[in-house]
Amino acid sequence: MTTPSPAMGEPGLDITVRTAAGGGQTLLSAFDAALLGAGVANFNLVRLSSVIPRSSRVRLSHDPVPGAHGDRLFCVWAAGYAEHPGETAWAGLGWVRDEAGNGLFVEHDGGSEESVLEQIHLSLDDLVTGRGGGYGPAETIVVSAHHEHRPACALAIAAYQVMPWEVA
């Protein structure tokens, strides 16, 4: 499911798509546990709405993102929460790219895999149609998390770029 960049000679972002599930005593710590599983827990996340720059590489990875503890990490994510006993939550990302490499992410969460995948495909269909078409097939990734004695978070996240703080 790796998408090679259509413009490999150009410098660009190395976007890594990651999934994980995590549990915790609170929704916040369940989210953090999922971030740990995805290799991005020690960054300050800044959320983006969800366009893939032209010369980016998009690939799957679960290696920890390199960077200093507390750096900013710009990223796109979907998170689903299983808050109640027995509940299962799903989250997923979908993406398409055109021939020049311009791309789009969509993020959805819900109570079933089918629901999340359906929303991803409906959204991508609309986004592509709205731009006049010309995109390749959709790629998708989904993940689930089950409430076992404690809340759980399903996380699908695309890590764009780490930026350090500006310190004198």
List interacting residues with a second copy (CB under 8 A).
Answer: 11-13, 22, 24-26, 28-29, 32-33, 36, 41-56, 68-72, 74, 76, 102-103, 106-108, 119, 122-123, 125-127, 130-131, 160-161, 163, 165-168
Rounded Cα distance between 75 and 59, Å, is 14
Structure token digits, residue 28? 């916040």
The DSSP H or E segment spanning 52 is: strand 51-52
CB of 136 to a second copy, least distance (A): 15
CB of 150 to a second copy, least distance (A): 9
Structure token digits, residue 1? 């499911």
Taking the least distance from each CB to a second copy, the nearer of 1 and 46 is 46
Rounded Cα distance between 95 and 160, Å, is 14
CB of 73 to a second copy, least distance (A): 9
